Amino acid sequence: MAAKPRRLNLTQKYQLMTRGLDWETTYQSMDDVFPYDKYEGIKIKDWDKWQDPFRLTMDAYWKYQAEKERKLYAILDGFAQNNSQLNISDARYMNAVKIWMQGVTPLEYAAFRGFAMLGRGFRGAGARVACQFQSIDEMRHYQTQMHAFSHYNKYFNGFRQFARIRDRAWYLSIPKSYFEDAVTAGPFELITAISFSFEYVLTNLLFMPFVSGAAYNGDMATTTFGFSAQSDESRHMTLGLEVIKFMLEQDEGNLPIVQQWLDKWFWRGYRLLGLVGTMMDYMLPKKVMSWRQAWEIYWEESGMALFNDLARYGLRPPKYHEVATKEKYRITHEFWCTIYQFSHATALYTWIPTEEELDWFSAEYGELFDTVYRPRYEYWAELDRKGERFFQKRLPVVCNVCQIPIFHTMPDDPLMNCCLVSEYKGTKHQMCSQGCKDIFDHEPEKYCQAYIPPQQIYQGNCGGATLEAYKEWLHIKDEETGEYYGSEDHIMWEGWKAQSGKPADAPA
């Protein structure tokens, strides 16, 4: 009689259900079946050397993820039934959630698509399986974020038609272009951009401030989805580390390629995070930590510790990281000054920080804030009091690479605007920094094709060549844009506060 089959241990089960299902193709060549994993120049001698950074099988995956969903939705239901939107610190906080919903949630969807491509693209089964799981995770994050935020959509402006404005809003090309740049590269560059640069190196700067900011400002819906998503992030981060090690260990010729990608994606990621830093500094009525402090902890300490370890492979820290460190005193202020002037063309509200908040900035950012940015805010506040709230009449020039308005200043001169130009095929392309210019110059044929929204708008390709026509095409109404104080959100919030007997906030 046959012996009773032994229960498989985790490793055996994993082997059988992942790599054990793979095969070498015979009637089509492997190169034809996996046409994209060689052309970037990355050489892989032995895909079997891929170390699976986590051993998860599909049956366990479904079971655990389903349980996470049940838990999350139970909390979201309770949140909605208890009118928990009343518990947030202040309605200005909602703009942090709006920017997440408009800018970051669609990135989860873009990541789902990207990892689905990678889950087909690599010829190594271990790498494919890891990417397939992550693809499903990203779809889950996209959906749970949308569901967590949907309760706010019942009350606050800026959430409706997020999918349309994701496609059409000029300022949302900032996050969108990051992922579109990545998915139009090859598979190894894509996974380096997302898994390593974004998820491993920069995720602490993205996720931590947002989720702790949410908790701190009474937003339990966001906090709960944040924890739910973070329990998947461990897999994503270890995948990022594994892929870098794998490329570097497989062939020494991979080193310069990887270095160039790290240079590029560090800078692109850093530029994108300027938006998150601005949200942290300006949109959280209860502050968690300043961007400067977060940069010091998560980049100058943790990030540099990582690059010290990577130096053993011969990698150096990414180009221009020292510029990013110089900019830690100003980037969020330059960003907010810009959004403040353009919020009539966004589905966001902006405002001048309160006196108390200005004092917090002075303490966190010191002399530069007091001499450069505080006077600007005082000037604009004065105009506002005279009934002349300041808005720019035209859309800004944006960087051809990061698509952020060209407001950044010279690394060593915070009063001198930085705008660099590359000429390619007879056309001038503007960039915000040497970091972005290097990226353009390395692949001009790619970036000369970038879709630059303000240019398209003024060429009349977006509903008409005026701001008014464009806003109509965007379906953005004036009441969901511009100044926070006096806005529909503000009036509703004050009404709620009055009913609950708590004092309403005084306008700045």
Partner 1 sequence: MSYQATIEPLGETIEVEDDQKLLDAALRAGVWLPYACNHGVCGTCKVDVLEGEVEHNEASSFALMDIERDEGKTLACCATLVSDIVIEADIEEEEDAQHLPVGDYTGKVVRIEDLTPTVKGIWLEVPGDGIEFQAGQYLNLNVPGVEIPRAFSLANPPSEKNVIELNVRHVPDGQATTYLHEQLKMGDELGFTAPLGRFFVRKSAPEPMIFLAGGSGLSSPKSMILDLLENGEERAITLVYGARNQAELYYFDLFSKLARQHANFHYLTALSEPADTDDWDGPRCFVHELAEEHFGKRFEGHKAYLCGPPPMIDSSITSLMRGRLFEEHIFMENFFTAADSAKPARRSALFKKF
- Determine, following the binding rule CB under 8 A, whether residue 13 of this chain makes contact with partner 1: no
User: CB of 183: closest distance to partner 1 in angstroms?
Assistant: 26
Between 68 and 326, CB nearer to partner 1: 68
C-alpha R_g of the chain: 24
Between 53 and 285, CB nearer to partner 1: 53
Name the residue among 260, 237, 257 with its Cα closest to residue 247: 257
Residues 230-269 that bind partner 1 (CB under 8 A): 230-231, 233-234, 237-238, 241, 245, 249, 252
User: CB of 313: closest distance to partner 1 in angstroms?
Assistant: 6
- Determine, following the binding rule CB under 8 A, whether residue 300 of this chain makes contact with partner 1: no
Between 184 and 308, CB nearer to partner 1: 308
The interface mask with partner 1, positions 192-231, x = CB under 8 A, is -----------------------------------xx-xx
Question: Which residue from 39, 62, 64, 379 is in contact with partner 1, where contact means CB under 8 A?
Answer: 64
- Determine, following the binding rule CB under 8 A, whether residue 77 of this chain makes contact with partner 1: no
Taken in order 287, 486, 474, 163, the sign of the CA dihedral is positive
- Determine, following the binding rule CB under 8 A, whether residue 310 of this chain makes contact with partner 1: yes
- Determine, following the binding rule CB under 8 A, whether residue 16 of this chain makes contact with partner 1: no
- Determine, following the binding rule CB under 8 A, whether residue 71 of this chain makes contact with partner 1: yes
Between 302 and 455, CB nearer to partner 1: 302
Query: Any idea what DSSP says for residue 91?
Result: G
Place of tokens 């985790």: 10
Query: Any idea what DSSP says for residue 450?
Result: -
Token pair of 22, please? 């793979």
Contacts 24+ apart (CB under 8 A), 365-373: 365/290, 365/292, 365/329, 365/330, 365/333, 366/329, 368/329, 368/330, 368/414, 369/329, 369/333, 372/330, 372/333, 372/414, 372/415, 373/330, 373/333, 373/337
Helices 125-153, 58-81: crossing angle, 10 deg rounding: 10
Contact between 447 and 431 under an 8 Å Cβ cutoff? The reply is no
Between 125 and 201, CB nearer to partner 1: 201
* CA dist., res. 326 & res. 323, Å (int): 5
Residues 359-398 that bind partner 1 (CB under 8 A): none
- Determine, following the binding rule CB under 8 A, whether residue 57 of this chain makes contact with partner 1: no
**Which residues are near partner 1 by CB under 8 A?**
10-11, 54-55, 63-64, 67-68, 71-72, 227-228, 230-231, 233-234, 237-238, 241, 245, 249, 252, 301-302, 305-306, 308-314
